[in-house]
Amino acid sequence: MDIFLQQLANGLTIGSMFALVALGYTMVYGVMRLINFAHGDMVAASAFVGLTIYTQVMGQATSLPAVIAIFLLSAVCMACIGIILERVAYRPLREAPRLSAVVSALGASLVIQNGIMLIWGPRMRIFPELVPQVYWDFGGVVISLIQVIILVLSLVLMVALYLFVEKTRIGAAIRASSIDQDAARLMGINVNRIIALIFIIGSSLGAVGGLFIGLYYRGITFNMGWQYGLYAFVAAIIGGIGNIPGAMLGGMLLGLFNAFIAGYVSSTWADAFTFILLIVILIVRPTGILGERVAEKV
């Protein structure tokens, strides 16, 4: 029972990180029908940007306002890079065949990954201890303050995003653009601006995810974006790519699944089981758990 509860807590923590990153994949796919392969590397870059802001801008302060500032500045930096990425790598290929955009996405991924290596070096860096090491022991189940912060903040961001997309005028424009871009234009929606907004939101959430990865795992490497990006991508597919609640659900489920495999089987097998899960879901439900919402004509 202890293992179960412990892995439940761990699973929810990594699951919320996966979910935050998965939202970036799914929102871009929703509007552009494009997998932004550079997203994982953006997440990795965010951890390094956060590290540099901590050492160079904040003078290694770990007070609450300083930590909040690190999060906000990193998110703003990554949002700007996200806009540039869309402008440079994707917008010129909007009308091009799908494969060109995919190749461009893979190229952007390599550029960002190698960019991180050029700036911060190829060796593992240690992410600062922004949150004090506080643990609570509930009869053998240990939960850290970091885990609580990651879980709560992720949930707050996801609920906020959900409400934004479902309840606001701009959210309706995002949904319209993901259903039919030309029809959205006829409504007077500036689709280019919606796409830029999607990149801003996706990159900022990814930035928070990258900082969480740094906080939680401590060691950050220039190429870690590949691994976390892949997990988040799988999470987005499991939930139903293009579907925002799907990415949240997929991320949480994948995190829990991973943690339980690590707890009950072996952590070395976690990756293999993750992809077995992906294959099974794709066979049983190719559109993911929540899938694309389709209105059937009656």
Partner 1 sequence: MSDDILFEIKDLEVSYGSIAAIKGISLQVRKGEIVTILGANGAGKTTTMRTISRLLKAKSGSIRFKGHELTSLPAHKIVKLGISHSPEGRRVFGILTVEENLLLGAFTRSKVDRNTLDWVYELFPRLKERKKQLAGTLSGGEQQMLAIGRALMCNPEMLLLDEPSLGIAPILVKAIFQQIKEISRKGVTVLLVEQNAKAALKLADRGYVLDVGKIALAGTSEELLASPKVQEAYLGKKH
Closest to 45 (Cα-Cα) out of 62, 19, 24, 68: 24
Q: Which is nearer to partner 1, 123 or 167 (CB)?
A: 167
Q: Which of residues 277-296 bind partner 1 (CB under 8 A)?
A: 293-296
Restricted to residues 99-128, the positions that interact with partner 1 (CB under 8 A) are none
- Alpha carbon distance 84, 202 (integer Å): 13
We find the least distance from the C-beta atom of residue 192 to partner 1, in angstroms, to be: 8
Cα 72 to the center of its chain, rounded Å: 16
Q: How many CA atoms lie within 13 A of 118 on its CB side?
A: 6
**The only residue of 1, 137, 139, 297 in contact with partner 1, by rule CB under 8 A:** 297
Question: How many residues lie near partner 1 (CB under 8 A)?
Answer: 23
**Helices assigned H by DSSP within the chain:** 2-32, 39-52, 64-85, 98-120, 145-167, 169-179, 181-186, 191-217, 224-239, 244-260, 270-284
In the complex with partner 1, the residue whose CB is nearer, 283 or 295, is 295
d(CA 207, CA 72): 9
> CB 291: neighbour CB atoms within 10 A?
15
Q: Output 53 or 176, the one with its CB closest to partner 1.
A: 176
Bridge partner residues of 143 (DSSP): 136
Neighbours of 158 (CB within 10 A): 21
Q: State the DSSP code for 88.
A: I
Q: In the complex, what is the shortest distance from the CB of residue 165 to partner 1, in angstroms, rounded to a whole number?
A: 12
Nearer to partner 1, 175 or 218 (CB): 175
Interface mask toward partner 1 for 229-248; x: CB under 8 A: --------------------
- Smallest distance, partner 1 to C-beta of residue 174, A: 11
Closest CA to 90 of 107, 111, 75, 73: 107
107-140 per-residue burial string, b: 16 or more CB within 10 A, e: under 16: ebbeebbeebeeebeeeebebbebbeeeeeeeee
- Closer to partner 1 at the Cβ: 189 or 220? 189
- 163 scored as a contact of partner 1 (CB under 8 A): no
Select 285 or 293, whichever has its Cβ closest to partner 1.
Answer: 293
- CB of 131 or CB of 184, closer to partner 1: 184
- Minimum CB–partner distance for residue 85 and partner 1 (Å): 22
- The interface with partner 1 within residues 165-204 (CB under 8 A) comprises 169, 172-173, 175-176, 179-180, 182-191
Site for partner 1 in 62-91 (CB under 8 A): none
> Residue 125 or residue 175: which is nearer to partner 1 going by CB?
175
- Provide, rounded to whole angstroms, the least separation between the CB of residue 240 and partner 1: 13
CA-to-CA distance for 245 and 251, rounded, in angstroms? 10
Where along the sequence are the contacts to partner 1 (CB under 8 A)?
A: 169, 172-173, 175-176, 179-180, 182-191, 293-298
